[in-house]
Structure 1
């Protein structure tokens, strides 16, 4: 058995990824497992609960048959309570799960990052994302796919007023000539990010692939 393991399956992108993966031919994958911090109904065959803390139980819960790991795991400073607590989840927890996947023999790692990610950034959030991208790339997976979307668009359960305002503007203006083209790479629909990930996995090219907002949209159109 070879497993696709999804972390962050309750998130906008993670939930779309699981749903689409169920009907997508992926190399040698025979099962889908979701690791979730919250009780969920998922399209995955099994759901493994875990907490925000890196523990041996968490790392042991990662299926030993994992061949592809997809992580949409992340939170906000407001939800976490502080940037340090956000860093614990977005960076430390993600990195430990990636290490566990590598130790389990996973060959492909996929992470949802951010278009502004840079380990050298003066902005704490962008620097955190850049540090994670850098450090998971160094783990040596056969294939590392780093998705760097703009603002992720979709219906969230969390209350994010600024994002809601932007989404209303985006969906209202995206069909307007010229303006729609200018907005196309500012935000990416969650479904399109998931589709871009699946297309890149199917392509099977080894190495580190960093996919920016424009190429996320292009790859999404190739999804079948």
Structure 2
């Protein structure tokens, strides 16, 4: 956990709720999927900006457990986009030393997409640069429920004593068990809600809700937000002397 105080270092882990792709496309008289493709291209710019900003971990919210409620056309288009994006970017991620991970429940995803996700994780497992985590079919409540089920199974099988279960235990069962908690969570598009994203992990995260639609979110704005993070007073329940 970071120390308390003002004018500290920038965020080591930034999580982003990439919102506004559909509205961005609608404003231009184009179908929503046009906005999603533009948003996917924006991811590359933000990933490339991370090393200079000392952001070691970047987690992006690509598709939520609630997004299945969208039209079949949009969902199918998004799944196709994810397959194309992972296949297209995989080699570049290796060249740029970016380690890729996926969080979320893979059960509902098609086999080809799951295979690409597994391949991307395996191909970049040796990379030591930016850690890019993509939340795909992810929901915070779903993640905690799945983690609790696994924890309960370990208790039932005698691997874990009930009295040993505390707030340090559950995170070991979360999808993000190998990641630090996010220091800063950014949501684009003007909405001021967290939409079931990293509920456990963001208990002490700083939040930035900005009006910019995701396809318009630039590396310059990213740098401004990570820079302002260092000006915040991070007390974690304590009182600054």
TM above 0.5: no
Q: TM tier, shorter chain? A: 0.3 to 0.5
**TM-score under structure 2 normalisation?**
0.35
Structure (1 or 2) with the greater strand fraction: 1
Task: Pick the structure with greater CA Rg.
Answer: 2
**TM-score under structure 1 normalisation?**
0.37
More contact order relative to length (CA 8 Å, sep ≥ 6): 2
